[in-house]
Structure 1
């Protein structure tokens, strides 16, 4: 499991979360986990890979053109000897 910190939560939102958690018999932390789990659960999208999502994003937005710096010439680079 990972840890997620959310800063600058409005006091009214926090209060409503506390009320909702109490109504559901959970701690506020457990309630937030349940809300996040429900928000990202999509039975139609469970089999979708990250690559497919990125390809769809590129299709919808036209992609992003990045200005890449030129590659330096690596022909004269030597592998260090650490022996």
Structure 2
């Protein structure tokens, strides 16, 4: 996991972060992590798994279909690419 040091935070911002952390029952450091995660992973982001599940529902894919695919799927290891 990465580490980051932030210097020269205005006192007003630092106090606001500590107050917000206290409201949310976490440390100032945990509050900053939560803020950064929220900023970089918004709720309306595109989620590939959700999109694939919606596509499966749209085309009427059932659990039986998935089981059938699993039975005939080639399970041998893939050959690595060659760059010769």
1:2 Cα deviation after fit:
1.2
CA change 1:45–1:5 in 2 (3 A) is farther
SS of 1:14's equivalent in the other structure is: helix
Q: What are the superposed Cα offsets for residues 23-45 of structure 1, whole Å, 9 maximum, x if unpaired?
A: 00000000000000000003435
Match of 1:17 in 2: 17
Match of 2:45 in 1: 44
CA change 1:13–1:41 in 2 (3 A) is same
Alignment of 1:1-83 (within 5 A): 1-42=1-42, 43-45=44-46
Q: In structure 1, how many angstroms separate the alpha carbons of the residues matched to 2:36 and 2:14?
A: 15
Gaps of 5+ in 1: 48-83
Q: CA RMSD in A?
A: 1.5
Gaps of 5+ in 2: 49-84
Structure 1 segments, 4+ long, off by >3 Å, are: none
Match of 2:69 in 1: none
1:46 Cα deviation after fit:
5.7
Instruction: Give the number of the structure whose residues are more often helix, by fraction.
Output: 2
Q: How many residues align?
A: 47
